Amino acid sequence: MLLPIIALVLGVILGQLTSINIPPALSPYMSVALLAALDSVLGGVRATLENKFDDLIFFSGLLSNALLAGALAFLGDQLGVNLYMAAIFAFGVRLFQNLALIRRLLIDKWYRQRK
Amino acid sequence: MKNRTQITLSIVALFLGLLIAIQLRSANEVYSAVPDLRVTEMRAVLMETITQNQLLTRELEETRDKLRQFEETAMQGEGILQLIKDELRNARMLAGLVDVQGEGLIITLTDSQAASLPGDNPNVYLVHDEDLLKLVNVLSAAGAEAISVNDQRLLATSEIHCAGPTISINNVRVGAPFVIKAIGNPETMESALRMRDGIIDTLNFYGIGVQVKREANLVVPAYKRPLRFDYARPVTGGQ
């Protein structure tokens, strides 16, 4: 479990070192991309705890989620409606669901170890 | 946890961290695009320029007064010169170089007070240069003899032009509320404005406040800026 956390910190440092700037107009895409990544990480952790992690499912899920969310944000931009909210909402719900499952799995594991 | 899983997760975690860091910095830069210090500094410069501008305007007025005095002393006592003087006065009135008074209308235009709805274009709630141009045109058509907008006298060369959030008139930026003073027959001018589907109806449709007040005696100020002709010269030699 240590390596992903190290990678996260490394990513933050790398982001600080680069000088990429996102224009404010792209902030919907940025929020959607952030949530897609966050959702994938939590989903991956959950799948690992359930012992059914699969590279292909993981990456294809990340890619398709990000693509759909980006397409929604783009369509919303064209129509003048905040459609990217739909993606944020869906990702948000999934985040909490995944977190709840991870919590249950960890607690289960802990109980089993004590017995 | 298997090694492979860890590496896969790590790649996405790296990406996540990168996104967070970039977004953090971008958000910070949006808020600090104009630092407070710079705003204060620029405000000081602006205030100084405004004061200087006022000073120069006063100086110009004084100089013009002096010129008028010279002209008057030069023309005193002479009968034929009185005629020329009268003509000069008329010409000055027509050119907008003297304050004039008489009965007329005071029209006040204010930006719409209606709360703009999300997705609405906020532009339609503002007074635009076109609105002012149309209004002034209607007044001229109704026989207005002297017109000023926010104390800027309209001359033959005056522009009413969009200048960002303000409107440029005689190269002076003026903002809402716009007070238009027009000397002329108040009845004719008011009915021209209030014509059905006329200028006031149009402006009211967009929620722009229009107030029309008749005045028995109002003063339209003179043109206060330097008169210069860089290109135009009178034709001489009886051509």
Residue at B68 is within a domain: yes
**Both tokens of residue B197?**
């589907």
Residues B38 and B103 in one domain: no
Residues B106 and B208 in one domain: yes
Q: Reading across the β-sheet that carries B172-174, which strands appear in turn?
A: B160-163, B166-169, B172-174
A vs B: CB pairs below 8 A: 105
Q: Give this prediction's pTM.
A: 0.47
- Distance in Å, alpha carbon of B21 to nearest chain A alpha carbon: 5
Per the structure, the count of domains in chain B is 2
Chain-chain contact of B25 with A24 (C-beta, under 8 angstroms): no
Residues B104, B111: Cα–Cα separation, whole Å: 23
Instruction: Please report, for residues B88, B117, B154, the alpha-carbon distance to residue B91 in angstroms, rounded to integers and kept in the order given.
Output: 5, 51, 15
Residue A1 confidence class, pLDDT cut points 50, 70, 90: low
Give the closest of A5, A34, A55 to B19, CB-based. Answer: A34
Residue at B72 is within a domain: yes
Chain-chain contact of B16 with A41 (C-beta, under 8 angstroms): yes
Residue at B235 is within a domain: no
Residue B33 confidence class, pLDDT cut points 50, 70, 90: low
Residues B120 and B53 in one domain: no
Domain's final residue, options B94, B109, B127: B94
Q: For residue B100, what is the enclosing H or E element?
A: strand B100-110
**Both tokens of residue B14?**
């790296």
Which residue of chain B is at minimal alpha-carbon distance from A52?
Answer: B5
Which residue of chain A is at minimal alpha-carbon distance from B4?
Answer: A55
> Which of A1, A13, A16 to probe by mutation at the B interface, max B CB count within 10 Å?
A16
Residues B81 and B152 in one domain: no
Residues of B with Cβ-Cβ distance to A24 under 8 angstroms = 26, 30
pLDDT recorded at residue B95: 83
Give the closest of A7, A18, A22 to B14, CB-based. Answer: A7
Choice between A107 and A22, residue whose per-residue pLDDT is larger: A107
- Distance in Å, alpha carbon of A107 to nearest chain B alpha carbon: 17
Query: What ipTM does the predicted assembly reach?
Result: 0.78
User: Does residue B36 have a pLDDT over 70?
Assistant: no
Chain-chain contact of A15 with B18 (C-beta, under 8 angstroms): yes
Residues B203 and B103 in one domain: yes
**How many CB atoms are located within 10 Å of the residue B109 CB?**
19
DSSP B9: H
**Both tokens of residue B44?**
């000081």
Residues B29 and B115 in one domain: no
Residue at B229 is within a domain: no
Report, as an integer, the average pLDDT of A39-44. Answer: 88
Domain's final residue, options B79, B94, B109: B94
- Distance in Å, alpha carbon of B34 to nearest chain A alpha carbon: 15
Residue at B231 is within a domain: no
Residues B104 and B206 in one domain: yes
The one-letter amino acid at B97? L
Chain-chain contact of A48 with B8 (C-beta, under 8 angstroms): no
Residue at B179 is within a domain: yes
Domain containing residue B43: 2-94
Give the closest of A6, A20, A40 to B22, CB-based. Answer: A20
All residues at 6 or more sequence positions from B116 whose CB lies less than 8 Å from its CB, including other chains = B122, B125
Kindly report the average pLDDT of chain B as a whole number. Answer: 84
CA A87 to chain centre: 12
Residue pair B193/B107 in contact (Cβ under 8 Å)? The answer is: yes
All residues at 6 or more sequence positions from B101 whose CB lies less than 8 Å from its CB, including other chains = B183, B217, B218, B219, B220
Residues A19, A27: Cα–Cα separation, whole Å: 17
With a pLDDT cut of 70, the percent of chain B lying above it is 89
Residue at B234 is within a domain: no
Residues B88 and B120 in one domain: no
The one-letter amino acid at B219? V
B120 touches chain A (CB under 8 A): no
Report, as an integer, the average pLDDT of A57-70. Answer: 88
A102 touches chain B (CB under 8 A): no
Residues B39 and B122 in one domain: no
Residue at B228 is within a domain: no
Residues of B with Cβ-Cβ distance to A79 under 8 angstroms = none
Q: Quote the strand ranges of chain A, DSSP E.
A: none
CATH number (domain holding residue B119): 3.30.70.1880
Residue pair B107/B180 in contact (Cβ under 8 Å)? The answer is: yes
Domain's final residue, options B94, B128, B146: B94
B171 touches chain A (CB under 8 A): no
User: Does residue B10 have a pLDDT over 80?
Assistant: yes
Residues B55 and B115 in one domain: no
Choice between A80 and B189, residue whose per-residue pLDDT is larger: B189
Residues B9 and B106 in one domain: no
Residues B104 and B81 in one domain: no
B18 touches chain A (CB under 8 A): yes
